Structure 1
Amino acid sequence: MARISFGTGGWRAIIGDEFIRANVRLLAAALAERMRDEGTAGEGIVIGYDRRFLSDVAAEWAAEVFAGYDIPTRVIRVAQAPTPLIMWTVKDLDLPYGMAITASHNPALYNGIKVFTRGGKDADEDVTGDVERRMGLLEGPTEDEIPSVPYARALSTGAIEEINTFNGYIDSIIAQVDMEAIRSAGLKVALDPMFGVSKTSLQTILMTARVDVEVINDRHDTLFGGRLPSPTTHTLQALKRYVVENGCDLGIATDGDADRIGIIDDLGNFLHPNQLLVILYWYLLQYKGWTGPVVRNVATTSLLDDLAARFGEQAYEVPVGFKWISGKMLETDAIIGGESSGGLTVRGHIAGKDGIYAAALLVEMIAVVGKPMSQIYAEITGQFDPHYMAETDFAFDPERKPEILDTLMVRRELPAFSEPVVRTSYEDGCKVYFADGWIIARFSGTEPLLRIFCELPTQERAERCCDEFRAFLGL
């Protein structure tokens, strides 16, 4: 088994522990050998990176290896390169593979690599499994034989080319958004890039539409201001205050690599990603006149199912990991897909998460509907039975993981829930369906955590079921 393994969002590891030059080179070599064996090496690869510590250097480490394998290598040299920009570049240049050096929303001590396939999609398990197998074969003494060309030399010979695809990516979003509607709305938006890479992209799009944009937390800080670069109600307190104190119509935040989004409404309330998915699906159906299903993962609100049914559409449930979302969207021609963690995509754009496009679409929605965000969501949810979500993350002693796995997935034991159980699913973690809700316990694919989510008609019932699961597992 290779010493590097992919989770739901690529490979992520602690800097200086597993995220080291040798492992970056190993992963690049394994992918290069796959490209050589499948006959795509001549088409080339593109590499981009975020603002994390070592991201720019690691991009050079990987590029040197691809150059050593005589694979034409393009490196995106943009001061702030969001992951969706890299995915868009893979699609735009019709390349077989792309790579982003990022650990997305993980803490500052992490970095990692995401791999993309043709069309700008997240690599599926067939690809990542094959890369892991090839890494296992390369490990050991043969690692010293991995070919590479020093970056400066490869750049001078053309083996590595530095490119800037920013304008094309921005233009692709502008072409899909009703800029005229936004221009006429006179909106004021506060932007919190969370010390990540979204500022330039979002500011360019919104200012082009004559939005008054004010930015906080935009300096380059590899420690992300000492907080997790993930947009949640806890991490966006400063943005909440700014929106209310400055009379903004909306507050927009993105995670470290800008593929996830967080929203503060006009009243200073944090809108959960579940709510954003519902709002955007409703807008695409009701106002833009689109037709088609929605795709969500096992830990995302079933209110999407109710909304789909109201419009005569269908909701599809898939495992956690955006590769499952994008794959099912292509299969069913769904118009939107997303996760409760904050990632979503819309038909006609890239097949991966894009917080920048999602933010632009939400601004368009406010302009077109002509109502504050708080009022829009209240009017949508007022048409359905209530859905309340409780979300809990539990760190645990790594030695306990086999025991917990055995309890949940092998012996399939459950607590004595206060809610009547209708059925259970073990497709991705342990999901228990109640008569009017559900609860799921699953291990994070990116962090050493057990996550328990529950959705029921009241917050009290949802939190009680989470406590019952937690106590049962001794967490």
Structure 2
Amino acid sequence: MMIHERAGQVALQKDLVNIPKLMSHYYRLIPNVEIDEQKVTFGTSGHRGSAFNHSFNEYHLLAITQAVVDHRNRAKITGPLYVGIDTHALSQAAYITVIEVLVANGVNVIVHQHDGFTPTPVISHAIITANKGHYGEVDGLIITPSHNPPQDGGIKYNPPHGGPAEGEITQWIENSANTYLRQHLNGVKREAYAQALLSGSVQSVDLIQPYVDDLINVIDMEAIAKAKIRLGVDPLGGSGIHYWAEIAKRYEIDITLVNDRVDPSFSFMPLDKDGKIRMDCSSPYAMSGLLKYQDDFDLCVGNDPDYDRHGIVCPSSGLMNPNHFLAVAIDYLVTHRPQWSESLIIGKTLVSSAMIDKVCAQHQRVMCEVPVGFKWFVDGLAQAQFAFGGEESAGAAFLRRDGTAWTTDKDGFILALLAAEILAVTGQTPAQRYAELVKLHGVSFYARVDSPVSVHKKAMFAEMIAGKVDVSVLGTDTLAGEMIQTVLTKAPGNHANIGGIKVVSQHAWFAARPSGTEALFKIYGESFVSQIHLDEVLSQAQEIIDKMLT
């Protein structure tokens, strides 16, 4: 992809979304469920879309929420439901719609006080904590499109295990919601928002303090304070913005917010690589505002709007590649958590760096490679069988210091704070720690490229990989000059379908899969030979996919 000429520069007025127009479209545009792009579609992180495109409108939220209620009834989930919300413009409107349907259906709802924002990991943590109390199963909805542009909205469902819902559940919710759309919302219950608030079914509580107070049980906060680590934080206008002051106060840590703005147009954001406003804390372009401060603090960290991702900025070396930090985090945790059993499993997605494989082998730890999507780590984290689960897209979670469950969804707070703990305990930044891993295991050259793809070709590809796929299907037995060792359509760790293919040679691999939320084909590649070798891998991967889709 060509880098936009203004990538990394702060957005101009012409780049900003018209918020009043967006909100008007949310309420007035009615989706046509016979058009694929306007249906309810749950990917790996719920349903996302834009009111402008008839893909995230009030009708969608009414139908989805009623479908979630129906799922709760069939699953006999009787406890209250937590509702979290991020700072996107559509999130507030969607929140009101969700509350109206939940209350009309007799669901008791718990929200953060004063209509405040609530990050994804806080909802997961609250669900897990509540369900330990044995007063009924509790679940949650989080209204967020994650790091997507300001005009987008999103909603995802977390069952009582606290993490992203399994495919069977999301498929059921998707089908049910689309049925409601076809029926013009016949069967959807709704209570006027003002009446819903007076019903007694909506409980406003402080969700910040319990989460902040519990951090000491997952991160060595005392070590961070004792080492006097100076932490610079850019919340990127996200839902965790008010948590940092409480963390600083509670643990006497030196934390400075370098950006305290909350603005639904995200006008303070630098443009991403494609010239769009996107709150992607793994992008050096979107994070260029924070990068200006990299030498003013011992560490800088940033998070996306719902706080399930993390970005780590080290002095002089800048923003860490997410794969690099995952490897560092795993290397540190398995050597600095004495209460963790050595039999605990390290989870990674199959598009994450093979450096993680090498670190696990170094420490003789079992590694489980699963398809893309954090949902594959949920059971393992909930049952404390997985010590760590991480994705190349800068999302991860791990167990408490005593080896029990913390969250079963990605937690950007604890990964950011872990970076500070690593520096406090070892005296080395995460970037310096990664340099040590490179000395041991070699240099990783890694990249992801995206290319547009039609819905038709997505379906065509899915049908193709449903059958047997081997080197004969690829039309070659070599990858960038090396013999192909394996062609995968199922993940080695759990034998689940990966929704794409992964081709592996001795020193390189590529994986190709269509995005679950965007009209894109994603091709990932890694080489432990050279950048030139990686370029050859990616070029050949594109040729192979083009042939398969012709």
TM-score (norm 2): 0.81
- Which of 279, 283, 304 is residue 356 of structure 2 equivalent to? 304
Which letter maps to 2:335? Q
Q: Which residue is 1:269 aligned to?
A: 318
Segment drifting more, 401-410 vs 153-162: 401-410
Which letter maps to 1:35? R
Indicate how the Cα distance of structure 1 residues 285 and 108 shifts in structure 2: closer, same or farther if over 3 A, else same. Answer: same
Which letter maps to 1:215? L
Give SS of 2:116's match: coil
Q: Which residue is 2:284 aligned to?
A: 233
Post-superposition CA distance 1:320-374 (Å, at most 9, x none): 1110122344567121110000100002311110001111122111101122333
Q: How many angstroms apart in 2 are the aligned matches of 1:46 and 1:331?
A: 22
Which letter maps to 1:259? D
Indicate how the Cα distance of structure 1 residues 141 and 473 shifts in structure 2: closer, same or farther if over 3 A, else same. Answer: closer
Q: How many angstroms apart in 1 are the aligned matches of 2:74 and 2:336?
A: 48
Q: Assess if the C-alpha contact under 8 Å between 2:63 and 2:178 holds in 1.
A: no
Q: How many angstroms apart in 1 are the aligned matches of 2:184 and 2:543?
A: 48
Q: Which residue is 2:19 aligned to?
A: none
Q: Assess if the C-alpha contact under 8 Å between 2:85 and 2:118 holds in 1.
A: yes
CA RMSD of aligned residues (A): 2.3
Q: How many angstroms apart in 1 are the aligned matches of 2:462 and 2:170?
A: 23
Give 1:415 shift: 6.0
Post-superposition CA distance 1:258-307 (Å, at most 9, x none): 10001111224221111111111111112233332210011011221211
Give 1:406 shift: 5.9
Q: Which residue is 1:90 aligned to?
A: 127
Q: How many angstroms apart in 1 are the aligned matches of 2:213 and 2:318?
A: 31
Q: Assess if the C-alpha contact under 8 Å between 2:147 and 2:305 holds in 1.
A: yes
Which letter maps to 2:474? L
Q: Assess if the C-alpha contact under 8 Å between 1:191 and 1:199 holds in 2.
A: no
Give SS of 1:239's match: helix
Q: Residues 194-213 of structure 1: matches in 2 within 5 Å? A: 194-213=236-255
Q: Which residue is 1:38 aligned to?
A: 75
1:364 aligns with 2:424: no
- Which of 139, 142, 147 is residue 100 of structure 1 equivalent to? 142
Q: Assess if the C-alpha contact under 8 Å between 1:196 and 1:218 holds in 2.
A: no
Q: Residues 10-49 of structure 1: matches in 2 within 5 Å? A: 10-16=46-52, 17-40=54-77, 42-49=78-85
Q: How many angstroms apart in 2 are the aligned matches of 1:35 and 1:371?
A: 47
Indicate how the Cα distance of structure 1 residues 218 and 404 shifts in structure 2: closer, same or farther if over 3 A, else same. Answer: farther
Q: Which residue is 1:425 aligned to?
A: 488
Post-superposition CA distance 1:183-206 (Å, at most 9, x none): 121222211111212222234324
Q: Which residue is 1:134 aligned to?
A: 176
Q: Assess if the C-alpha contact under 8 Å between 2:213 and 2:250 holds in 1.
A: no
1:111 aligns with 2:153: yes
Q: Which residue is 2:366 aligned to?
A: 314
Which letter maps to 1:282? D
Give ranges in structure 2 of 5+ residues lacking alignment. Answer: 1-32, 132-136, 272-276, 400-404, 491-497
Indicate how the Cα distance of structure 1 residues 112 and 274 shifts in structure 2: closer, same or farther if over 3 A, else same. Answer: same
- Which of 290, 294, 309 is residue 260 of structure 1 equivalent to? 309
Q: How many angstroms apart in 2 are the aligned matches of 1:176 and 1:220?
A: 28
Q: How many angstroms apart in 1 are the aligned matches of 2:118 and 2:75?
A: 29
- Which of 453, 474, 477 is residue 414 of structure 1 equivalent to? 474
Give SS of 2:293's match: helix
Q: Assess if the C-alpha contact under 8 Å between 1:195 and 1:221 holds in 2.
A: yes
Indicate how the Cα distance of structure 1 residues 312 and 330 shifts in structure 2: closer, same or farther if over 3 A, else same. Answer: farther
Q: Assess if the C-alpha contact under 8 Å between 1:102 and 1:114 holds in 2.
A: yes
Give 1:27 shift: 0.6
1:385 aligns with 2:442: yes
Q: How many angstroms apart in 1 are the aligned matches of 2:85 and 2:263?
A: 15
1:280 aligns with 2:362: no
Q: How many angstroms apart in 1 are the aligned matches of 2:432 and 2:187?
A: 62
Give 1:163 shift: 2.5
Q: Assess if the C-alpha contact under 8 Å between 2:422 and 2:429 holds in 1.
A: no
Q: Assess if the C-alpha contact under 8 Å between 2:85 and 2:239 holds in 1.
A: no
Q: How many angstroms apart in 2 are the aligned matches of 1:205 and 1:423?
A: 47
Indicate how the Cα distance of structure 1 residues 19 and 136 shifts in structure 2: closer, same or farther if over 3 A, else same. Answer: closer
Indicate how the Cα distance of structure 1 residues 331 and 35 shifts in structure 2: closer, same or farther if over 3 A, else same. Answer: closer
Q: How many angstroms apart in 1 are the aligned matches of 2:151 and 2:467?
A: 34
Indicate how the Cα distance of structure 1 residues 446 and 217 shifts in structure 2: closer, same or farther if over 3 A, else same. Answer: farther
Post-superposition CA distance 1:52-101 (Å, at most 9, x none): 01212211211111111111122334533211112222222224320001
Q: Which residue is 2:379 aligned to?
A: 327
Which letter maps to 1:36? N
Q: Which residue is 2:512 aligned to?
A: 441
Give 1:399 shift: 4.9
Give SS of 1:47's match: strand
Q: How many angstroms apart in 2 are the aligned matches of 1:373 and 1:324?
A: 26
Give SS of 2:111's match: strand
Give 1:401 shift: 3.5
Give SS of 1:383's match: helix
Give SS of 1:382's match: helix
Give 1:49 shift: 0.6
Q: How many angstroms apart in 2 are the aligned matches of 1:71 and 1:332?
A: 30
Which letter maps to 1:354? D
Q: Assess if the C-alpha contact under 8 Å between 2:325 and 2:430 holds in 1.
A: no
Give SS of 1:18's match: coil
Count of residue correspondences? 472
Give 1:454 shift: 0.9
Which letter maps to 1:313? R
Which letter maps to 1:433? V
1:340 aligns with 2:395: no
Give 1:385 shift: 2.9
Q: Which residue is 1:468 aligned to?
A: 540
Q: How many angstroms apart in 1 are the aligned matches of 2:217 and 2:381?
A: 22
Indicate how the Cα distance of structure 1 residues 312 and 235 shifts in structure 2: closer, same or farther if over 3 A, else same. Answer: same
Q: Which residue is 2:196 aligned to?
A: 154
Which letter maps to 1:468? Q
Q: How many angstroms apart in 2 are the aligned matches of 1:309 and 1:268?
A: 27
Give SS of 1:43's match: coil
Q: Assess if the C-alpha contact under 8 Å between 1:394 and 1:449 holds in 2.
A: yes
Q: How many angstroms apart in 1 are the aligned matches of 2:194 and 2:73?
A: 24
Give ranges in structure 1 of 5+ residues lacking alignment. Answer: none
